Amino acid sequence: MAGSSFGKIFTISTWGESHGPALGVTVDGCPAGVPLSEDDIALYLDRRKPGRNAASTPRREDDKPEILSGVFEGRTTGAPIQIMVRNTSQRSGDYDEIKDIYRPGHADYTFDAKYGFRDYRGGGRSSGRETIGRVAAGAVAAKVLAELGIKVEAYTVSIGDIQADVSRYDYENVSQNGKSSVSRDEFSKRRRETSLKTPTGMPDEEADKRAMEYIEKLKSEMNSTGGCMECRINGVPAGVGDPVFEKLDAMLAGAVMSIGAVKAVEIGDGIEVSSRTGSGNNDAFRIENGNIVKKTNHSGGILGGISDGSEIIIRAHVKPTPSIAMTQETVTKDGKETDVNIKGRHDPVIVPRAVVVMESMCAITVLDALLKGSSAKLDNLLKLYKS
Amino acid sequence: MAGSSFGKIFTISTWGESHGPALGVTVDGCPAGVPLSEDDIALYLDRRKPGRNAASTPRREDDKPEILSGVFEGRTTGAPIQIMVRNTSQRSGDYDEIKDIYRPGHADYTFDAKYGFRDYRGGGRSSGRETIGRVAAGAVAAKVLAELGIKVEAYTVSIGDIQADVSRYDYENVSQNGKSSVSRDEFSKRRRETSLKTPTGMPDEEADKRAMEYIEKLKSEMNSTGGCMECRINGVPAGVGDPVFEKLDAMLAGAVMSIGAVKAVEIGDGIEVSSRTGSGNNDAFRIENGNIVKKTNHSGGILGGISDGSEIIIRAHVKPTPSIAMTQETVTKDGKETDVNIKGRHDPVIVPRAVVVMESMCAITVLDALLKGSSAKLDNLLKLYKS
Amino acid sequence: MAGSSFGKIFTISTWGESHGPALGVTVDGCPAGVPLSEDDIALYLDRRKPGRNAASTPRREDDKPEILSGVFEGRTTGAPIQIMVRNTSQRSGDYDEIKDIYRPGHADYTFDAKYGFRDYRGGGRSSGRETIGRVAAGAVAAKVLAELGIKVEAYTVSIGDIQADVSRYDYENVSQNGKSSVSRDEFSKRRRETSLKTPTGMPDEEADKRAMEYIEKLKSEMNSTGGCMECRINGVPAGVGDPVFEKLDAMLAGAVMSIGAVKAVEIGDGIEVSSRTGSGNNDAFRIENGNIVKKTNHSGGILGGISDGSEIIIRAHVKPTPSIAMTQETVTKDGKETDVNIKGRHDPVIVPRAVVVMESMCAITVLDALLKGSSAKLDNLLKLYKS
Amino acid sequence: MAGSSFGKIFTISTWGESHGPALGVTVDGCPAGVPLSEDDIALYLDRRKPGRNAASTPRREDDKPEILSGVFEGRTTGAPIQIMVRNTSQRSGDYDEIKDIYRPGHADYTFDAKYGFRDYRGGGRSSGRETIGRVAAGAVAAKVLAELGIKVEAYTVSIGDIQADVSRYDYENVSQNGKSSVSRDEFSKRRRETSLKTPTGMPDEEADKRAMEYIEKLKSEMNSTGGCMECRINGVPAGVGDPVFEKLDAMLAGAVMSIGAVKAVEIGDGIEVSSRTGSGNNDAFRIENGNIVKKTNHSGGILGGISDGSEIIIRAHVKPTPSIAMTQETVTKDGKETDVNIKGRHDPVIVPRAVVVMESMCAITVLDALLKGSSAKLDNLLKLYKS
């Protein structure tokens, strides 16, 4: 099960299974001197916790992070940061009846095909709990980015057919004649505050309410739903990302698609570009306060794989939770057809909890791209090494 | 400009600029003993050549590949395979007027931001010609996969709003009561033959005709269009791909998003899953001729990041060619606003030529995942090393 | 502090500081299906424990390993294996007086130069305790190799000027007319048993006794000594290793030189080859029982970076423990000259405890090379994937 | 034949066989803005050319490098630099008689064991000609290092039993009461000039003469000899290298051991440390002109894997050329015993030509370590990205 690491310079490696003693993440390559505490991590982990509300599973977990290495007197030392979370709410019994059955939409069958056998308790390594490591590492990346003035923010855009109205926070959209009584920053602040408050993670209280009703209905029907989430990254200077295979958008797409249940990723205007004309899709360059800016941002902040200084925008489409209580057709390990009803505690939609996972993966990706870029120019080296 | 390599075991590294002496690719980690000739490579390169028809740029290029290493007596030796193509049709003069201007939708500005200066001739490293290396490597990967019974096929799905009817080749869709006078394989063969014949790469001659008319219209308007392409991979056994960051879909998404102009990637049913319910999206397992199969294939052949034995399906949405002849607003290198009309030979839509690039990246990704998996089980090792 | 990982397929990543809460290792890419228990790990860790005898520091540590992930029902699952050891015997107080002083022969100064500050307690990340992770991972690698019939064995060759007589176990050396009353295997067994029993790790009880007297003398003089250790690997089939930068000997040299205090590495006859002639150094090939063998083994089992089927032999030269109690000249963090007497519990020679670290690094390196080789031939792929 | 790449940020990948159409190297991750020409490369390649004198093979090769990408208007662009050398002096006929024979001391047998067959002409991929790529890349690395004030220099220390007197250039050694009429820099200049002039690469004309006589004698006896070479690196600031597996000395050891025929690597005082005491091996720190310096340099410029600001010193022991004309015992591919006399043009000792290969690998390793370090401190990032 190689492939548990991500990032070239800022490298994260998650480990642990749903029902083992613990899980966590090693963060290697974090610059030395960054303030970091367990509270910084806990703040992020709280956002992926279950049991907060009707939108998620009733499992209660503490998920208290322990920093076991790499931090000394409150600052990172440059050494690998080990962050561990103990598994405390294990009910392995729930899984006994399905240990010989391949659940539809799950990785049971493919794990057996690859490894010959599997840890069947709660999805084992393919459990959503693996994302604890990603989120803990995301908290670290966010701390570093904050020092550089870079902010990463994700929220829920839709659940089933119910769309949040996000355009209300777009300064360009709301302003009249380029003016608005509310500032650009204030709009961002309101969007963030709202999305952190609503149970669905939508930055729209009204849509959130309708979405919650829809979720309740699905629960009663023993069904589940998919949804869409979006991440915006502000403050990335132009010039971050590499131009060929490690394009910033390619790395982001890979990072976000590696989150279980994500089935599509869009950058900027995404799928809409395929039916557009060049004149309608190109972003004209202009000068604003002496800086090069774009009049529009169809590109989503990336040109030729490298950041262009505008807001970076990514969207991810998430499939419905495959664990549903209604009867489904499936097969056993031994190749017999059977029916299955998935028991246990499962989210009717995972988007509200996945939002912080997306935010984490994006933060990690951007930070890694930025660190890789430190040696792109001879000028940079002269600045650092020539006295 | 690190990041010019892709793949962990089967590693490809492209090199070369649009208007330098040559460009190419190094393929390292190719298994020894695979039959390979320059003709195998040329067959693939021909599909990305410009000038074939009205859908692409009138530049005529030979793009004749030379294998400089790694092949002996017609078979790969396991050594790095170097494939070079000389640049023969350079008209650098076309680019002189834009050397101090940042073309909208291009990477001119971001390259300068990252590296301090750039090779401005024809996009330099960010030119579409970089994909010559990808396609040459894709030809190699396809040869290896063919030995294992794996086929990779990409085609054009839409150009602007014009959709090809691909469903006509879906056995499940066409058959009545599970029966059809035409076999599954015959459908695939027809789809492939049609898409290789039409100028747009659509497997639908009627839609192709309309698309070509649309392209002609855009050319006369000095404009361009986007489009969508799709790749299908058949014959991959269940168990290929890794479960966390190197999920097969994550690797495919990163690979395909690294193709210039791609702005969205979908796996299986892609963006549609976000508005579905679990019962409508899960693929039930059944037994067919003693094998585990899925009744539907919403998942696109991948579960938990690992192949499930069904057809693997990926879609990519491509933005309109940014190089258009109509007047556009932009800025100069020195920060002055100006207008620009892009001259030179440019495709009004790049999808027809990008199809083989997508096919190549998918072949490379699947092969690499497969090679990585060779050591997943102790049983595999015992089979190979224990006599 | 990137660079905490080693290996491409079988990847180990150590984490943790001398005086933090815990330290350990993540092992990713271990094949699934290998029997593994905490006892397997403990057996290796016991060999690097201090306090066993006069040759090592009087610190008493339990170093009890916990497997936190990657093992299910007694077998590896293919998921990352997390092995943690709690730090229980911390006496940070010992280090307070040297927190502003750069100890000669230590990494205090270089860490400060690189990271701006450091965890000064007990060497922090550069402490010998970091090798706990290496040894735990080595135990895992040894388990996999054992399944393939490969044995890795290291022992002490010399301490100061005192040499162990290792030649007594060389069948070729001891036999008369190619015959000996003791079998080849029996010699190996005796060598192993003796080296595991003696306090110095020498496979020679008489030399061991003299070495221990020398060590006692150095302790009384508040001094320390260096030494040499050797590793032999048997059962590796011909064909393991890569021919250019990842030559098996290059990977072994890097692996062994990465053990703190190692200052020279030799393969086979090592430094002696520089004064030899070709006719005196080439190993003639012969046929023995139908197999290709070498008449001599000057090459140490590797030709052109690839194993040749003979015994693989590596030697490492280790510098004297830099922590000595006698007065030394040095400087403070602030650039003032001063004297220092290192207090605390320190080994007068680290070789006896480093032997198992060398054995571990060699096992890990060989296993990784072997796993990488699984995809070297098309034949291998056909064996694994073609039914 | 994976493993043809070296370096994490400054990555070189060699390709090509002895008797194929061409061979070369791709250099990825070179900072943009470094002046580079084909003459810079040729200067290095000239030093590894055969036929210069009696110490090397009479083959005459032009080895003219072509830069095919990555350089624009005389400066590196940050894009991959492709450097190719055509093979012009191929006499494949020489190799026909040995295509079914395994030459002693060569990789013929191990290549067949690994890949199932091999390019038998002139060693194919394991030929010394592979080092053309290394040396071309070394020339690039040396250019970057020179911008930072770092100099890398290798020379021959011994051939057979004949030792060059290198100590005559050691300021500390020559000076009386810390004073000398010749400056430190002047000593270095003289050493360099002498070693570039002598046929053996020794910085000692008298020893060189004796070594050449010895070589002539061996040639007449159809035999060959080994030797030792040394590399010194000056100007590396303290703080370069990583503390665990990617220690600067570990990376150097791996890099140098990956040069064919190297069988031992020493750092600083190397093998001598194993018989020393701590008090005799520790380097005391002192203050000199306000800077922290070491009174001695037993460590060879590296402490805990990180550069300490002193001169970095590495030595490599090279085995005798295995291709000798005298009769040797060996076996055929089909497992039959036979005799072989190696014909063709072979160096009686490879050290004089390998010196520039060692210099190149050391330059590449140090540059890569330095680039990796650019993101070690938050302060560095703030310097580069915070305006």
Q: What is the pLDDT of residues D45-95, one digit of tens each?
A: 999 887 555 566 655 557 899 999 999 999 999 999 999 999 986 665 667
Is the CB of D13 less than 8 angstroms away from the CB of B80? yes
3-class state of residue C71 by DSSP: strand
Using the predicted structure, report yes or no on whether residue A367 has a pLDDT greater than 50: yes
Query: Which has the closest alpha carbon to B106: B95, B12, A319?
Result: B95
Alpha-carbon gap, residue B204 to B182, rounded angstroms: 17
Is the CB of C32 less than 8 angstroms away from the CB of B78? no
Q: How far is C208 from chain A (nearest CA, A)?
A: 38
Is the CB of D147 less than 8 angstroms away from the CB of A237? no
A290's CB contacts (< 8 A; 6+ apart) are B335
Is the CB of C237 less than 8 angstroms away from the CB of D113? yes
pLDDT at residue C94, as a whole number: 66
CATH number, domain at A86?
A: 3.60.150.10
Q: Determine the angle formed by the axes of helices C248-257 and D248-257, rounding to 10 degrees.
A: 160
Any bridge partners for residue D318, and if so which? D227, D262
pLDDT at residue B343, as a whole number: 82
* B376 vs C8, C78, C372: nearest CB: C78
CA-nearest residue to A148 within chain D is D386
Is the CB of A113 less than 8 angstroms away from the CB of B377? no
Reported ipTM = 0.96
Alpha-carbon gap, residue A152 to A314, rounded angstroms: 11
Is the CB of D329 less than 8 angstroms away from the CB of C243? no
Cβ–Cβ contact B228 with A under 8 A:
yes
Q: How far is D178 from chain B (nearest CA, A)?
A: 47
Kindly report the three-state secondary structure assignment for every residue of chain D. CCCCEECCCCEEEEEECCCCCEEEEEEECCCECCECCHHHHHHHHHHHCCCCCCCCCCCCCCCCEEEEECEECCEECCCCEEEEEECCCCCHHHHHHHCCEECCCCCHHHHHHHHCCCCCHHHHHHCHHHHHHHHHHHHHHHHHHHHCCCEEEEEEEEECCEECCCHHHCHHHHCECCECCCCHHHHHHHHHHHHHHCCCCCCCHHHHHHHHHHHHHHHHCCCCECEEEEEEEECCCCCCCCCCCCCHHHHHHHHHHCCCCEEEEEECCHHHHHHCEHHHHCCCEEEECCEEEECCCCCCCEECCEECCCCEEEEEEECCCCCCCCCEEEEECCCCEEEECCCCCCCCCCHHHHHHHHHHHHHHHHHHHHHHHHHCEHHHHHHHHCC
Residue with tokens 């200066």: B117
3-class state of residue A266 by DSSP: strand
3-class state of residue B138 by DSSP: helix
Cβ–Cβ contact B379 with C under 8 A:
yes
Alpha-carbon gap, residue A297 to A280, rounded angstroms: 11
Residue with tokens 């071309």: D136
Torsion of the alpha carbons at A231, A236, A242 and A243, rounded to the nearest 10: 80
Is the CB of D255 less than 8 angstroms away from the CB of C260? no
Is the CB of C117 less than 8 angstroms away from the CB of A32? yes
Q: What is the pLDDT of residues A182-220, one digit of tens each?
A: 888 899 999 999 999 999 999 999 999 999 999 999 999
Is the CB of D115 less than 8 angstroms away from the CB of C377? yes
Write down the number of H helices and E strands in chain A.
10, 19
Residue to test with chain D: of B71, B72, B127, most D Cβ within 10 A:
B72
Categorise residue B104: left if φ over 0, alpha if ψ from -120 to 50, beta otherwise. beta
Cβ–Cβ contact C284 with D under 8 A:
yes
Q: How far is D300 from chain B (nearest CA, A)?
A: 31
Whole-model pTM?
0.97
Q: How far is C87 from chain A (nearest CA, A)?
A: 10
User: What does residue D160 show for φ and ψ, rounded to 5 degrees?
Assistant: 55, -130
Residue with tokens 């003709």: B39
Q: Residue D314 corresponds to which tokens in the numbers above?
A: 């590495």
C296's CB contacts (< 8 A; 6+ apart) are C283, C284
Q: How many domains does chain B have?
A: 1
Q: What one-letter code names the amino acid at A99?
A: K
Torsion of the alpha carbons at B341, B345, B347 and B348, rounded to the nearest 10: 40
Residue to test with chain D: of A374, A379, A382, most D Cβ within 10 A:
A374
Distances, alpha carbon B15 to alpha carbons B22, C318, D328, in Å: 9, 43, 44
Any bridge partners for residue C51, and if so which? none
Cβ–Cβ contact C84 with A under 8 A:
yes
Q: Residue A116 corresponds to which tokens in the numbers above?
A: 């010959």
Is the CB of A381 less than 8 angstroms away from the CB of D370? yes
**Of A53-67, A322-336, B371-385, the least confident:** A53-67
Measured between beta carbons, which residues in chain C are less than 8 angstroms from residue A68? Answer: 15-16, 20-24, 84
Neighbours of chain A (3+ CB pairs under 8 A): B, C, D
B181's CB contacts (< 8 A; 6+ apart) are none
pLDDT at residue D97, as a whole number: 77
* D270 vs C225, C264, C335: nearest CB: C264
Is the CB of C381 less than 8 angstroms away from the CB of B237? no
* B384 vs C34, C378, C383: nearest CB: C383
Q: Residue B241 corresponds to which tokens in the numbers above?
A: 């791909």
Measured between beta carbons, which residues in chain B are less than 8 angstroms from residue A2? Answer: 242, 246, 372
What b-and-e string marks burial along D346-367, b requiring 16 or more CB atoms within 10 Å of the CB? bbbbbbbbbbbbbbbbbbbbbb
**Local mean pLDDT, 10-residue blocks, chain C (387 residues):** 88 95 97 98 91 57 90 97 89 74 95 93 88 98 97 98 94 76 89 96 97 96 97 97 97 98 98 96 95 96 97 98 94 94 86 97 98 94 86
Categorise residue D70: left if φ over 0, alpha if ψ from -120 to 50, beta otherwise. left
pLDDT 10s per residue in chain B (387 long)?
478 999 999 999 999 999 999 999 999 999 999 999 999 999 999 998 875 555 666 555 578 999 999 999 999 999 999 999 999 866 656 677 788 999 999 999 999 999 999 998 888 898 999 999 999 999 999 999 999 999 999 999 999 999 999 999 988 777 777 777 888 889 999 999 999 999 999 999 999 999 999 999 999 999 999 999 999 999 999 999 999 999 999 999 999 999 999 999 999 999 999 999 999 999 999 999 999 999 999 999 999 999 999 999 999 999 999 999 999 999 999 999 999 998 877 889 999 999 999 999 999 999 999 999 999 999 999 999 876
Cβ–Cβ contact D117 with C under 8 A:
no
Is the CB of C29 less than 8 angstroms away from the CB of A75? no
Alpha-carbon gap, residue C243 to C329, rounded angstroms: 46
Q: How far is A207 from chain D (nearest CA, A)?
A: 39
pLDDT at residue A173, as a whole number: 77
- Which value, in Å, is the radius of gyration of the alpha carbons in chain D? 22
**Residue D202 lies in domain:** 5-385
At D170, the pLDDT band (50, 70, 90 cuts) reads confident
Is the CB of C378 less than 8 angstroms away from the CB of B78? no
**Residues D243-270: what's their mean pLDDT?**
98
Is the CB of A6 less than 8 angstroms away from the CB of B245? yes
Cβ–Cβ contact D337 with C under 8 A:
yes
Alpha-carbon gap, residue D82 to B24, rounded angstroms: 9
Query: Which has the closest alpha carbon to B203: B163, B261, B171, B176?
Result: B163
Query: Is residue C32 a contact partner of residue C80, using CB atoms and an 8 Å limit?
Result: no
pLDDT at residue B1, as a whole number: 47
pLDDT at residue A52, as a whole number: 58
**Residues D136-161: what's their mean pLDDT?**
98
Is the CB of A263 less than 8 angstroms away from the CB of B266? yes
Q: How many CB atoms lie within 10 A of CB C167?
A: 9
Distances, alpha carbon A150 to alpha carbons A77, A130, A290, A364, in Å: 22, 26, 21, 12
Chain C, 9 to 48: residues with Cβ < 8 Å from chain D are 14
Q: How far is D230 from chain A (nearest CA, A)?
A: 26
Cite the beta strand spans of A261-360 per DSSP E: 262-267, 285-288, 291-294, 302-303, 306-307, 312-318, 328-332, 337-340
D175's CB contacts (< 8 A; 6+ apart) are none
Alpha-carbon gap, residue B152 to B358, rounded angstroms: 10
Measured between beta carbons, which residues in chain B are less than 8 angstroms from residue D77? Answer: 1, 17, 115, 117-119, 124-125
Residue to test with chain B: of A303, A350, A383, most B Cβ within 10 A:
A303
* D9 vs B2, B32, B114: nearest CB: B2
Alpha-carbon gap, residue B169 to B189, rounded angstroms: 9
DSSP C237: P
Alpha-carbon gap, residue A221 to B344, rounded angstroms: 60
Entry field: residues in chain D: 387
pLDDT at residue C387, as a whole number: 63
* B17 vs D16, D79, D114: nearest CB: D79
Measured between beta carbons, which residues in chain A are less than 8 angstroms from residue C82? Answer: 15-16, 22, 24
DSSP A93: G
Query: Which residue intervals of chain B are DSSP H helices?
Result: 38-48, 108-115, 131-147, 171-174, 184-197, 205-220, 248-257, 278-281, 351-372, 378-385
**Of A92-96, A302-306, B316-320, D307-311, the least confident:** A92-96
Using the predicted structure, report yes or no on whether residue A387 has a pLDDT greater than 80: no
Q: What is the pLDDT of residues D98-145, one digit of tens each?
A: 889 999 999 999 999 999 999 988 888 889 999 999 999 999 999 999
Alpha-carbon gap, residue A120 to A95, rounded angstroms: 7
Alpha-carbon gap, residue A249 to A316, rounded angstroms: 13
Measured between beta carbons, which residues in chain B are less than 8 angstroms from residue A210? Answer: none
* C285 vs D2, D109, D113: nearest CB: D109
Measured between beta carbons, which residues in chain C are less than 8 angstroms from residue D281? Answer: 105, 226, 319-320, 322
At A233, the pLDDT band (50, 70, 90 cuts) reads very high
Any bridge partners for residue C329, and if so which? C339
Cβ–Cβ contact D306 with C under 8 A:
yes
Neighbours of chain C (3+ CB pairs under 8 A): A, B, D
Using the predicted structure, report yes or no on whether residue A92 has a pLDDT greater than 80: no
D106's CB contacts (< 8 A; 6+ apart) are C303, C304, D123, D126, D322, D323
Q: What one-letter code names the amino acid at C290?
A: G
B192's CB contacts (< 8 A; 6+ apart) are B153, B155, B203
Q: How far is D242 from chain A (nearest CA, A)?
A: 10
Through-space distance between the first and last CA atoms of chain A, rounded to whole angstroms: 46
Any bridge partners for residue C161, and if so which? none
Establish, for the pair of chains A and B, how many residue pairs have beta carbons separated by less than 8 Å.
Answer: 394
Measured between beta carbons, which residues in chain A are less than 8 angstroms from residue C13? Answer: 5, 13, 26, 28, 80
Is the CB of A106 less than 8 angstroms away from the CB of B303? yes
pLDDT at residue D343, as a whole number: 81
Cβ–Cβ contact D318 with C under 8 A:
yes
Q: How far is B382 from chain A (nearest CA, A)?
A: 14
Query: Is residue A251 a contact partner of residue A368, using CB atoms and an 8 Å limit?
Result: yes
The dihedral through the CA atoms of A129, A132, A134, A138 has a sign that is positive
Query: Is residue B63 a contact partner of residue B85, using CB atoms and an 8 Å limit?
Result: yes
Alpha-carbon gap, residue C204 to D361, rounded angstroms: 40
